């Protein structure tokens, strides 16, 4: 009887011990937890770097957009001055000129009309462009205060921002009826062009010191 009790007790202790995790299992579980922590930390670090890089680019784009508005406005003023001159030139062409044939006069008028039409189209393009830049700047209002933990959240915000700008851009272009603007202008493209960036920076540099 005592032997049976000892046997049962030994068997119970064995079963109890065998039901618990082994040292290898504990080590594997601890390693899995550690790997999970390391992966999460790595992901958080990568997200932080990507968010900082993306935010820096967006803030730089906002600054460029703001600086571009007076630059584009200056080009509008230049076109308007050119239009005034073109109107005066047209009046001069239409006036009497000794020794000029009727065909020569008509040819000069036709050429001047082409000049005026080009100026009108350029003005329409620039006026629409400045509207788009002003809208884009409004959409980026408060950008610097935005906080993101996950890069996916930042990416969603950026895509939504681009979508809103593009929608208004399309509406303004459609309203303008400018074929040239429709075929050549895209805010996200223009804002990245090196020549445009350099021109805006040069304009700002010149006008900030005068």
pLDDT in tens, 78-117: 999 999 999 999 999 999 788 889 899 999 999 999 999 9
Tens-place pLDDT, residues 155-178? 999 999 999 999 999 999 888 877
Is 7 a member of any domain? Answer: no
Is 19 a member of any domain? Answer: no
pLDDT of 5 higher than 70: no
- Cα dist from 155 to 28, 137, 146, 170, whole Å: 36, 19, 12, 22
Phi, psi of 116 (to 5 degrees): -65, -40
Can you tell me the mean pLDDT for 52-68? 96
pLDDT of 208 higher than 60: yes
- 47 and 153 Cβ atoms separated by less than 8 Å: no
Is 105 a member of any domain? Answer: yes
Is 2 a member of any domain? Answer: no
pLDDT of 17 higher than 70: no
Nearest to 62 by CA among 142, 170, 148, 172: 142
Question: E strand or H helix at 79, and its extent?
Answer: helix 23-94
Can you tell me the mean pLDDT for 114-123? 93
Helix pair angle (151-176, 102-139), 10° resolution: 150
- Reported pTM: 0.78
Helix, coil or strand: residue 39: helix
Sequence-ordered list of residues with C-beta below 8 angstroms from that of 56, at least 6 positions apart, any chain = none
Is 138 a member of any domain? Answer: yes
Is 38 a member of any domain? Answer: no
Give the per-residue pLDDT at 31. Answer: 79
- Region for 21 from its dihedrals, namely left if φ exceeds 0, alpha if ψ lies in -120 to 50, beta otherwise: beta
Tens-place pLDDT, residues 28-58? 777 778 878 888 888 889 999 999 999 999 9
Q: How far apart are CA 204 and CA 193, in angstroms?
A: 17
Would you list the DSSP string of 119-176?
Answer: HHHHHHHHHHHHHHHHHHHHHTTTGGG---SSHHHHHHHHHHHHHHHHHHHHHHHHHH
- 129 and 181 Cβ atoms separated by less than 8 Å: yes
pLDDT of 1 higher than 60: no
Domains held by the chain: number: 1
Show the domain range for 72.
Answer: 51-208
Tens-place pLDDT, residues 175-188? 887 777 777 788 98
- Region for 177 from its dihedrals, namely left if φ exceeds 0, alpha if ψ lies in -120 to 50, beta otherwise: left
pLDDT of 8 higher than 70: no
Range with the largest mean pLDDT of 5-9, 41-45, 140-144: 140-144
């Amino acid at each position: 009887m005592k032997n049976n009790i000892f046997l049962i007790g030994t068997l119970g202790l064995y079963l109890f011990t065998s039901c618990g995790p082994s040292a290898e299992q504990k080590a594997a579980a601890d390693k899995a937890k550690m790997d999970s922590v390391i992966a999460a930390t790595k992901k958080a670090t990568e997200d932080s770097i990507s968010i900082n890089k993306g935010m820096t680019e967006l803030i730089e784009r906002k600054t460029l957009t703001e600086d571009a508005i007076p630059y584009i406005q200056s080009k509008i003023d230049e076109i308007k001055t050119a239009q005034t001159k073109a109107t005066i030139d047209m009046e001069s062409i239409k006036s009497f000129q000794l020794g000029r044939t009727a065909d020569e006069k008509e040819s000069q008028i036709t050429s001047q009309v082409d000049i005026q039409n080009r100026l009108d189209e350029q003005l329409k393009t620039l006026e629409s462009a400045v509207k788009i830049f002003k809208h884009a700047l409004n959409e980026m209002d408060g950008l610097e205060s935005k906080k993101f933990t996950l890069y996916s959240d930042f990416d969603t915000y950026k895509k939504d921002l681009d979508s809103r700008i593009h929608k208004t851009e399309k509406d303004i272009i459609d309203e303008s009826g400018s074929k040239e603007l429709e075929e050549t202008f895209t805010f996200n493209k223009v804002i990245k062009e090196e020549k445009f960036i350099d021109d805006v920076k040069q304009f700002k540099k010149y006008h900030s010191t005068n």
